[in-house]
C-alpha cells in the first residue's frame, strides 16, 4: 500500500483506538483510587467540626463559670442549665454528655452517631484541646482520629471504675 494511502486512511478514521481507551481508564482509576479516601476523610473532618465547636463552646462556658464562681459547674449527664449557653441539637453526633467529677474538673464527650469514635475534652486529665477515642462498643478509631488530626486515646476502665487514658 502506498504511503499516501495509509496516511489518507488514518485521517479518515474517527474515534480512539482500544489502547488509548484502556490507558485512559487505567489513569482515571489510579487517580480515583488515590482521591476517594482523602475525600472521605475530609467529609468526616467536616462532620466532626459540629462536635468540636460545641465542645469548645462548653469549655469556654465552664471557664466563665469558674471565673464567676470559683469552681466549675457540676454537670450531671446532659444538663447544661447552669452554664451561660444553650446546647443545640447535633446532626452527626449524639447529644453531648458531661460529668463533673468534682468542682475542680469536668469532662464533655460527643459520641459519633454511628459509634465509630468519640471526641472529648477532659479537664481532669490535663491535656488541653480536643481529643479522640474509641467509642464504647465501636471499632478501633485510631485511623479516623489520626486522619482528622486529633490526638488518639484508647479509653480503658480499670478495676476501680475510673477512666484512665492510654495512648
Pick from 2-11, 13-22, 59-68, 154-163: least confident = 154-163
Does the pLDDT of residue 21 top 90, yes or no? Answer: yes
Contacts 24+ apart (CB under 8 A), 146-150: 147/41, 147/44, 147/45, 148/41, 148/44, 148/45, 148/48, 149/45, 150/48, 150/119
pLDDT of residue 54: 84
Q: What is the pTM of this model?
A: 0.64
In the chain, where are the structural domains located?
A: 13-166
CA separation for the pair 57, 9 (Å, rounded): 72
pLDDT at 100: 59
Looking at 3.30.700, 3.30.160, 1.10.10, 3.30.450, the CATH number of the domain 13-166 comes to 3.30.700
Q: What is the pLDDT of residue 102?
A: 56
More confident residue, 51 or 155: 51
Q: Report pLDDT digits (tens) over 79-102.
A: 677 778 877 788 888 877 766 555
Helix, strand, coil in percent for the chain, rounding step 5: 40, 20, 40
Neighbouring residues of 157: CB distance < 8 A, sequence distance ≥ 6: 163, 164
**pLDDT one-digit tens code per residue, 99-148:** 655 556 677 788 888 878 888 887 765 556 788 888 877 778 888 888 88
* pLDDT(65) > 80: yes
Rounded distance, CA 129 to CA 96, Å? 16
DSSP assignment string, 70-104:
SS----EETB-TTSSS-PPP-SSBPPPEEEEEETT
Per-residue model confidence (pLDDT) at position 103: 59
Distance CA(167)–CA(152), nearest Å, equals: 6
Angle at 113 between CA 52 and CA 153, to 5 degrees: 55
Based on its alpha-carbon atoms, the radius of gyration of the chain, rounded to whole angstroms, reads 27
Percent with pLDDT over 90 in the chain: 8
Whether the per-residue pLDDT at 23 is higher than 90: the answer is: yes
- pLDDT at position 162, please? 46
Amino acid at each position: 500500500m502506498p504511503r499516501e494511502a495509509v496516511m489518507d486512511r488514518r485521517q479518515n478514521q474517527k474515534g480512539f483506538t482500544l489502547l488509548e481507551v484502556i490507558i485512559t481508564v487505567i489513569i482515571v482509576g489510579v487517580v480515583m483510587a488515590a482521591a476517594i479516601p482523602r475525600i472521605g476523610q475530609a467529609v468526616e473532618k467536616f462532620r466532626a467540626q459540629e462536635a468540636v465547636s460545641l465542645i469548645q463552646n462548653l469549655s469556654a462556658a465552664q471557664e466563665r463559670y469558674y471565673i464567676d464562681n470559683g469552681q466549675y459547674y457540676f454537670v450531671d449527664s446532659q444538663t447544661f442549665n447552669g452554664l451561660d449557653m444553650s446546647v443545640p441539637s447535633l446532626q452527626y453526633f449524639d447529644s453531648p454528655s458531661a460529668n463533673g467529677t468534682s468542682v475542680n474538673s469536668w469532662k464533655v464527650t460527643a459520641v459519633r452517631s454511628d459509634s465509630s469514635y468519640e471526641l472529648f475534652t477532659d479537664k481532669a486529665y490535663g491535656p488541653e484541646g480536643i481529643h479522640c477515642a474509641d467509642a464504647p462498643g465501636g471499632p478501633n478509631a485510631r485511623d479516623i482520629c489520626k486522619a482528622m488530626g486529633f490526638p488518639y486515646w484508647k479509653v480503658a476502665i480499670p478495676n476501680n471504675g475510673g477512666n484512665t487514658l492510654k495512648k
